[in-house]
């Protein structure tokens, strides 16, 4: 087949003003990782409700006791077992202590434990995991054996043993939670490090002369933020649960101090006669756990679109 | 694995020596009686000797004698209580698996319907409400208000219903969420479309193609669930006064029965490490990529 070739001369072409760069222009404002995630999170009604409830519980836990003329420790046997009323919003316990105040100082303990565990997760867990994953080899082996040993005992048993050696109280709970809460985070971060450090962008950064610290802080950690945040959010309810359980069996916070777990235990003993003593701490506790779990679920979907099913 | 176990036993033994007080702190005991008791339990010997003897016995399956139950062997107490805890645990897992599967399958088949939302809400509630909150609620509602089941002790099968239920709620929630997600993924696969296009009935598509493929990964959550059941027994047996290992452990903590604490911790650790080992093996069998890359997450 023969094709006719028309003569192509420059005057056949017309210069258009639009520059070549136009196709490369970014139309919308750049959307970063966090804004993108936030947009997705906002669509998740459950997660938003969780976030709002958590903020509300934090505010009420600290502001609530100010609204009441009573103290959490003031005893008055004349008013013991008052049912909830306009005078005592959540009623009073067997020593006539105001439950409204006791529930909220108990919530403060739970919140403290939750955020402490999150902090330890971030500091100990991330550093441990990062070192283990980044260095690899023998260092990794030794550090992983360490985690294996801690994981080989149920975390509640580790916590109970810690409570036995030291005297029960908030500091001991802090140590017990600190011993156990960070191992999962360390494993996740290590896994990410092993995976990421072999990828091209890490290689590129290293060949440009970046040292380990720079590689870690500029590339590897930012790229692991998604799984880290998600794991963080699941650590918090677990830690709150551990403290409440220890207090529930009497090994945690000691009277007259209290926590939600201790309050649930006290209410549980009065279940048949003064059931309101159980319902208020139980409701606050369940609400808190539920909200953290909802938020964690939503964050997992928002930060890691691949996980969305 | 064995090395980890060895270190766990050693550290726990050492901790039990650090514990404040002695198991025979009763003021009424005379100095001679106490010395006799110490001699009987071998507590008068130097630490390295005690440690050596203990490790030697552990290897032979002898975890020492309980201080509280007049020298009954710890192994014997654990073995006597094991069937009760195991029965509760197995029953809870079975109840949880069946209910969770039904909930998850209904949720996936009626995706985005009322049933789907209901199952999802139920699942997240089940994960969030801890067993020691759920236990009292079940006791109050099903036990005291409705009087359907006895609320404590362990004398007949009816006694096992409430504790198993309290344990199984977490299992139900986990299994339901997991199977729902898996089914939704499988239903989007090409082979499901092909099965439908062949003109298979809806039932045949679901039973033969969707469910079978969705069930395989479920094996991977069984080991974590077993671990949860072991930890959960500490809580639930306490609430329902079930004479199992978990209840025994909490009791031995309260009365400072160190031999018992030590023995139970070792027993729990062996179970735990076995569960983790089985989990690793199952992961490798189901997803061969994990073995090739050698990275465990």
| Residue-wise DSSP of A212-235 | HHHIIIIIIHHHHHHHHHHHHHHH
Q: What is the pLDDT of residues B44-62, one digit of tens each?
A: 777 788 888 888 888 877 7
pLDDT digits (tens, 9 = 90+) for B116-170: 888 888 888 887 787 778 888 888 777 777 777 777 777 777 778 888 888 888 8
- Cα–Cα nearest to B184, from A113, A97, A307: A307
User: Looking at the predicted structure, is the pLDDT value of residue A77 above 80?
Assistant: no
Give the nearest partner residue to A160 out of B124, B140, B253, using CB atoms.
B253
Query: Residues A179-225: pLDDT tens digits?
Result: 777 888 888 888 888 888 888 888 888 888 888 888 888 888 888 88
Provide the whole-model pTM: 0.76
Distance from CA of A201 to the nearest CA of B (A): 20
Confidence of residue B294 (pLDDT cuts 50, 70, 90): very low
Res. B31 pLDDT band, cuts 50 70 90: confident
Q: Is residue A75 part of a domain?
A: no
Better-predicted residue by pLDDT, B282 or A215: A215
Which pLDDT score, from 0 to 100, does residue B25 have? Answer: 62
Taking alpha carbons only, the member of A291, A292, A299 closest to residue A36 is A299
Assigned domain for A109 exists: yes
pLDDT of residue A47: 83
Using CA coordinates, name the residue in chain B closest to A153.
B269
- Mean pLDDT over B94-100 rounds to 91
| Mean pLDDT, chain A, integer | 79
- Could you report the per-residue pLDDT of A2-46, keeping only the tens digit for each? 567 777 788 888 777 666 556 666 667 766 777 777 877 777 777
CA A307 – CA A37 distance, rounded (Å): 13
Using a 10 angstrom Cβ sphere, with 0-12 exposed, 13-18 middle and 19 or more buried, the burial of residue A49 is: middle
What CATH number is associated with residue A119? Answer: 1.10.3720.10
Residue-level pLDDT at B292: 45
- In this complex, which of A160, A167, A187 lies closest to B297 when CB atoms are compared? A187
> What is the model's pLDDT at position A18?
63
Q: Is residue A10 part of a domain?
A: no
Quickly state the pLDDT bin for B22 (edges 50, 70, 90): low
Residue A78 domain flag: no
| B3 vs A contacts (CB less than 8 Å) | 145
Select the more confidently predicted residue: A4 or B247. B247
**Tally of domains within chain A:** 1
Find the mean pLDDT for residues A139-157: 81
- pLDDT at A160 (0 to 100): 79
Position A254 in a domain? yes
Residue A40 has what pLDDT?
A: 78
Who wins on pLDDT, A172 or B293?
A: A172
Structural domain includes residue A17: no
Contacts of B234 in chain A (CB under 8 A): 154, 156-157, 245
- Please judge whether A152 and B273 are an interchain contact, meaning their C-beta atoms are less than 8 angstroms apart: yes
Q: Print the domain residue range for A44.
A: 34-64+101-307
Q: Is the pLDDT of residue A268 over 60?
A: yes
Task: Return the residue in B2, B4, B268 with the most chain A beta carbons within 10 A, the one to mutate for interface testing.
Answer: B4
User: What residues of B are in contact with residue A160 (Cβ under 8 Å)?
Assistant: 249-250, 253
| CA A206/CA A219 separation, integer angstroms | 11
Residue A155: pLDDT band by 50, 70, 90 thresholds?
confident
Is residue B296 very low, low, confident or very high in pLDDT (cuts 50, 70, 90)? very low
Set of chain A residues whose Cβ sits within 8 Å of the Cβ of B11: 149
Looking at the domain assignment, is residue A220 inside a domain? yes
Long-range contacts of B20-23 (CB under 8 A, 24+ apart): B20/A165, B20/A167, B21/B256, B23/B67, B23/B68, B23/B256, B23/B257, B23/B258, B23/B259
pLDDT of A100: 82
| % pLDDT > 70, chain B | 92
Phi, psi values for residue B73, rounded to 5°: -65, 140
A87 falls within a domain: no
Determine the Cα–Cα distance for residues A218 and A220; give it in Å rounded to an integer.
6
* Predicted local distance difference test score (pLDDT) of residue A3: 67
State which of A21-25, A37-41, B85-89, B206-210 shows the largest mean pLDDT: B85-89
Counting every residue written for chain B, the total comes to 297
Give the angle subtended at the CA of B10 by the CAs of B5 and B11, to the nearest 5°.
100
Q: What pLDDT score was predicted for residue A308? A: 44
ipTM exceeding cut-off 0.90 for this assembly: no
Q: Which two tokens stand for residue B96?
A: 């949880």
């Amino acid at each position: 087949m023969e094709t006719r070739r028309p003569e192509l001369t420059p005057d056949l072409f017309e210069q258009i003003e639009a520059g070549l760069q136009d196709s490369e222009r970014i139309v919308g404002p750049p959307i970063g990782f966090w804004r993108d995630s936030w947009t997705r999170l906002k669509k998740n009604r459950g997660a938003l409700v969780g976030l709002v409830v958590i903020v509300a519980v934090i505010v009420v836990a600290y502001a609530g006791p100010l609204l009441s003329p009573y103290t959490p420790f003031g005893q008055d046997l004349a008013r013991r077992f008052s049912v909830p009323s306009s005078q005592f919003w959540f009623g009073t316990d067997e020593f006539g202590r105001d439950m409204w105040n006791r529930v909220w100082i108990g919530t403060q303990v739970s919140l403290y434990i939750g955020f402490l565990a999150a902090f330890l997760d971030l500091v100990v867990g991330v550093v441990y995991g990062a070192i283990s994953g980044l260095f690899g080899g023998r260092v990794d082996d030794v550090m992983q054996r360490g985690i294996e040993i801690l994981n080989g005992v149920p975390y509640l048993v580790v916590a109970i043993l810690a409570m036995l050696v030291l005297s029960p109280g908030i500091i001991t709970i802090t140590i017990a939670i600190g011993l156990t809460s960070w191992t999962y985070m360390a494993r996740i971060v290590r896994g990410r490090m092993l995976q990421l450090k072999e990828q091209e962008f890490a290689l590129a950064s290293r060949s440009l002369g970046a040292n380990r610290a720079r590689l870690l802080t500029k590339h590897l950690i930012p790229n692991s933020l998604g799984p880290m945040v998600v794991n963080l959010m699941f650590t918090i309810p677990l830690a709150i649960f551990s403290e409440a359980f220890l207090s529930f069996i009497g090994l945690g916070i000691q009277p007259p101090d209290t926590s939600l777990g201790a309050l649930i235990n006290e209410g549980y003993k009065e279940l048949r006669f003064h059931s309101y003593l159980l319902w208020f701490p139980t409701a606050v506790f369940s609400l808190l756990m539920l909200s953290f779990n909802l938020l964690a679920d939503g964050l997992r979907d928002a930060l890691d679109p691949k996980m969305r099913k | 694995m064995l090395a980890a176990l060895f270190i766990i036993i050693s550290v726990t033994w050492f901790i039990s020596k650090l514990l404040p007080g002695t198991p025979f702190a009763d003021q009424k005991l005379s100095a001679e009686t106490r010395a006799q008791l110490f001699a009987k339990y071998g507590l008068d010997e130097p630490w390295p000797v005690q440690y050596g003897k203990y490790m030697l016995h552990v290897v032979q399956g002898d975890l020492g004698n309980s201080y509280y139950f007049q020298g009954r062997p710890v192994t014997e107490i654990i073995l006597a209580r094991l069937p009760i805890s195991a029965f509760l645990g197995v029953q809870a897992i079975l109840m949880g698996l069946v209910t969770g599967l039904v909930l998850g399958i209904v949720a996936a088949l009626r995706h985005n319907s009322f049933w789907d939302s209901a199952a999802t809400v139920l699942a997240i509630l089940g994960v969030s409400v801890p067993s020691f909150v759920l236990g009292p609620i079940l006791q109050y509602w099903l036990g005291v208000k409705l009087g359907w089941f006895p609320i404590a002790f362990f004398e007949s099968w009816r006694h096992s219903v409430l504790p198993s239920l309290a344990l199984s709620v977490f299992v139900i929630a986990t299994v339901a969420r997991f199977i729902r997600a898996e089914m939704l993924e499988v239903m989007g696969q090409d082979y499901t479309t092909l099965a439908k296009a062949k003109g298979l009935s809806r039932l045949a598509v679901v039973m033969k193609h969707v469910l079978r493929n969705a069930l395989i990964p479920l094996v991977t959550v069984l080991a974590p669930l077993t671990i949860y059941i072991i930890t959960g027994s500490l809580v639930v047996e306490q609430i329902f006064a079930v004479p199992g290992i978990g209840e025994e452990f909490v009791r031995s903590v309260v009365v400072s029965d160190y031999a018992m604490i030590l023995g139970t911790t070792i027993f729990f650790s062996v179970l735990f490490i076995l569960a983790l080992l089985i989990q690793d093996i199952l992961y490798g069998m189901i997803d061969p990529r994990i073995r090739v890359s050698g990275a465990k997450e």
